[in-house]
Structure 1
Amino acid sequence: MKIIIELTFTTNTRRDPDNYSPKWLLDSLVQAKVIQDDSSKFMAESPKVILRQGPVEQTVVRIED
């Protein structure tokens, strides 16, 4: 399983991707039973975080098998 998290901000401020750790999101997905577990046994790789600038602030989570 592979998880991609896209964070879109309305301002073009320089951001450090390390400040946007996806741990809280993975824990929420496990608790909601969207994914079975967030350990390396079930995850093909660490979640990828993509930071973008756009007209609307949003968070998009893609889960790929």
Structure 2
Amino acid sequence: MKVTVDEDKCCGAGACVLAAPDVFDQRDDDGIVVLLDAGPDAAEQAAVREAAEVCPAGAITVSGS
């Protein structure tokens, strides 16, 4: 699995951090997403897919298995 984020699309809702806190964080100054792990292990993959699905801005892209 490969994860990418589009910071320009991010609205700072934080849903990704709630779904997968080991993979996503937010910048302190504006709440924009910070990708902590672009290649999460199998244990994190379901949470990452959920984070991409619940992102209101569609700023998270997941590719691969």
TM-score normalised to structure 2 length: 0.27
| Larger relative helix fraction | 2
Larger Rg: 1
Higher relative contact order (CA 8 A, sep 6+): 1
